């Protein structure tokens, strides 16, 4: 099918340069085939979209989300990561139907599309037990709404509570015995399951695809980390892993490995291109050099980093070293949604708290991280991330006749600092329109929202009971957290908080 967007303004190429005047964008199937001055010739046969009041830009790439947190939206506040994270990792399974999982996934997917996101990377937790019918519904939700998605099943082969130091000293013996006695999947079982996903949902042939997602170094044995690395390499998959989000994780690295986690991952040969280190906030210059040398991206999530107080990543230092930086939101538990317009806004503004104004991060670099940065992190820097002939037509149209763009002086600055998801009028993925005139085209949004509400009413008592159960371990985590806060880290670690 051919589609032509007529008489629009556009942000063109990898630099997102504003078009000098109105242009027509011709799309054949899933690819952009031509961008020409408006009216230069008649459009090809096919669908025509009136773009007179649209700014067409590359679709935003949300490099990190956790769909399993959907029902936890708004439940917690004012807790640091280590004291919050257990609330969205139940000690006992929440009993969900496959349809519940589908609806839970739609919570983030709907907001993602509405905020101009065309690619979403979902690290969905299936522990303490994997149900293939649940995983199938995650993929199905993204298929139905039309977004491009990379779905990773959270992988770890160590008990979750043993990913922090001092548990043998701070946990009561009966709790240790209870948690250590909980059956976990072996690394072999996990890898057997996800290899099937890689074969059936490979990103080279599927819009909704599998990506490797080992949870974090401290939650995996070295053997398992290297097995996942080999699996990703064998299938040529992108990989994401949480690394050094908090000061406590830097301390944990020294206690577990005798070095920081990044130094450990480099030492074991884990760091390669098409790999995203999620967060990467507490870094020193030597680690940034390793990231640049190995081609690893930093996946920056300013909304959640603020909400759980993890801090401010040294984005300027990363960019100066040549490290690719992508952008994301994180899950609905740590931050209340997948609004990439919010992430864009914060990514540009927050970095102005660092250094001299001549080195501040601005709107252009934030937008680049949300488009080309995301594409490169996934190994798709030649296909996605820009409005350019030959690339996949993953596009967003913003209404120029709304107040954020009136008067129009600088399209990129106003998109980042003034626009919101309310200005998103057109979303196209793989050349197909999945939102137009403010309406999702492939699903009945109102009906799904009603169904989400009904499901939540039924599930909410289980969520409350699970949170009460987590309170059993909260005092022990609190002591471990306080203990780690008192331990020294490298003096040249870039400061991430006003006080730490």
Tell me which of 103-107, 196-200, 331-335, 448-452 is least confident: 331-335
Distance CA 29, CA 10 (A): 20
CATH architecture of 59-384: Alpha-Beta Barrel (3.20)
Q: What is the pTM of this model?
A: 0.98
With 60 as the cut, is the pLDDT of residue 340 above it? yes
Closest by Cα among 123, 459, 53 to 276: 123
Residue-by-residue DSSP string for 292-315: HHHTPEEEE-HHHHHHTT-----H
Type and span of the H or E element at 132? helix 132-145
In the numeric block, the tokens 């190429």 are attached to 13
Q: Answer whether 10's CB lies under 8 Å from 387's CB.
A: yes
* pLDDT, tens digit (0-9, with 9 covering 90-100), for 344-402: 999 999 999 999 999 999 999 999 999 999 999 999 999 999 999 999 999 999 999 99
Outline where DSSP puts E strands in 1-114.
2-12, 17-18, 23-28, 31-37, 47-50, 54-58, 60-65
Residue-by-residue DSSP string for 457-499: HHHHHHHHHHHHHHTTTHHHHHHHHHHHHTS---TTSPP-SS-
* pLDDT, tens digit (0-9, with 9 covering 90-100), for 131-154: 999 999 999 999 999 999 999 999
* pLDDT, tens digit (0-9, with 9 covering 90-100), for 16-72: 999 999 999 999 999 999 999 999 999 888 999 999 999 999 999 999 999 999 999
Type and span of the H or E element at 109? helix 98-114
Q: Answer whether 134's CB lies under 8 Å from 78's CB.
A: no
Q: Is the dihedral of CA 425, 428, 431, 433 positive or negative?
A: negative
Report the Cα–Cα distance between both ends of the chain, in Å, rounded.
56
Percent of the chain with pLDDT over 90: 93
Q: Answer whether 64's CB lies under 8 Å from 330's CB.
A: yes
Range 182-211 average pLDDT? 96
Range 297-311 average pLDDT? 97
Please enumerate in sequence order all residues whose Cβ is within 8 A of that of 125, keeping only pairs 6 or more positions apart, or say none.
66, 68, 88, 89, 154
The strand pair at 395-399 and 424-429 is best described as antiparallel
Q: What pLDDT does 500 receive? A: 55
Q: What pLDDT does 290 receive? A: 98
Distance CA 35, CA 418 (A): 27
* pLDDT, tens digit (0-9, with 9 covering 90-100), for 276-302: 999 999 999 999 999 999 999 999 999
Q: What pLDDT does 468 receive? A: 96
Closest by Cα among 243, 155, 241 to 198: 155
Please enumerate in sequence order all residues whose Cβ is within 8 A of that of 29, keeping only pairs 6 or more positions apart, or say none.
1, 2, 431
Q: Answer whether 56's CB lies under 8 Å from 11's CB.
A: yes
* pLDDT, tens digit (0-9, with 9 covering 90-100), for 260-272: 999 999 999 999 9
Type and span of the H or E element at 121? strand 117-124
């Amino acid at each position: 099918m051919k589609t032509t967007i007529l008489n629009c303004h556009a942000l063109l190429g990898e630099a997102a340069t504003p078009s000098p005047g109105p242009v027509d964008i011709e799309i054949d199937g899933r690819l952009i085939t031509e961008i020409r001055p408006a009216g230069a010739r008649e459009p090809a046969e096919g669908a025509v979209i009136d773009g007179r009041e649209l700014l067409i830009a590359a679709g935003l790439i949300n490099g990190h989300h956790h769909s399993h947190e959907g029902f936890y939206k708004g439940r917690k506040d004012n807790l640091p990561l280590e004291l919050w994270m257990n609330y969205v990792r139940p000690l006992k399974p929440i009993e969900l139907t496959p349809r519940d999982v589908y609806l839970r996934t739609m919570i983030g997917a709907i907001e993602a599309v509405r905020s101009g996101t065309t690619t979403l990377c979902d690290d969905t937790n299936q522990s303490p037990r994997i149900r293939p019918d649940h995983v199938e519904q995650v993929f199905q939700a993204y298929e139905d709404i039309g977004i491009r998605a990379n779905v990773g099943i959270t992988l770890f082969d160590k008990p979750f509570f043993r990913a922090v130091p001092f548990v043998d000293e701070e946990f009561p013996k009966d709790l240790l015995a209870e948690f250590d006695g909980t059956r976990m999947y072996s690394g072999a079982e996990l890898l057997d399951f996800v290899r099937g996903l890689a074969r059936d949902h490979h990103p080279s042939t599927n819009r909704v695809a599998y990506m490797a997602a080992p949870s974090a170094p401290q939650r995996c044995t070295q053997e398992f980390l290297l097995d996942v690395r080999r699996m990703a390499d064998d299938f040529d998959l992108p990989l994401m892993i949480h690394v050094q989000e908090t000061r406590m994780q830097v301390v944990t690295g020294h206690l577990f490995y005798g070095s920081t986690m990044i130094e450990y991952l480099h030492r074991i040969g884990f760091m390669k291109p098409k790999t995203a280190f999620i967060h990467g906030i507490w870094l020193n210059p030597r680690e940034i050099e390793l990231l640049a040398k190995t081609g690893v991206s930093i996946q920056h999530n300013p909304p959640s980093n603020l909400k759980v107080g993890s801090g401010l990543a040294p984005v300027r230092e990363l960019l100066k070293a040549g490290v690719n930086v992508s952008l994301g939101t994180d899950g609905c538990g740590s931050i209340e949604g997948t609004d990439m317009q919010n992430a864009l806004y914060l990514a540009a503004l927050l970095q102005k708290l660092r250094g001299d104004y001549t080195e501040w991060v601005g709107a252009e670099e934030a937008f680049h991280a949300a488009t080309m940065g995301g594409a490169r992190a996934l190994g798709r820097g030649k296909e996605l991330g820009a409005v350019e002939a030959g690339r996949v037509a993953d596009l967003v149209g913003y209404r120029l006749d709304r107040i954020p763009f009136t008067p129009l002086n600088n399209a990129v600055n106003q998109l980042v600092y003034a626009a919101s998801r309310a200005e998103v009028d057109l979303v196209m993925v793989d050349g197909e329109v999945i939102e137009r005139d403010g309406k999702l085209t492939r699903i009945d949004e109102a009906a799904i929202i009603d169904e989400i509400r009904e499901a939540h009413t039924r599930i909410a008592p289980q969520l409350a009971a699970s949170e009460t159960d987590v309170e059993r371990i909260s005092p022990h985590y609190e002591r471990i957290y306080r203990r780690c806060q008192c331990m020294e880290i490298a003096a040249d670690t870039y400061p991430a908080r006003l006080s730490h």
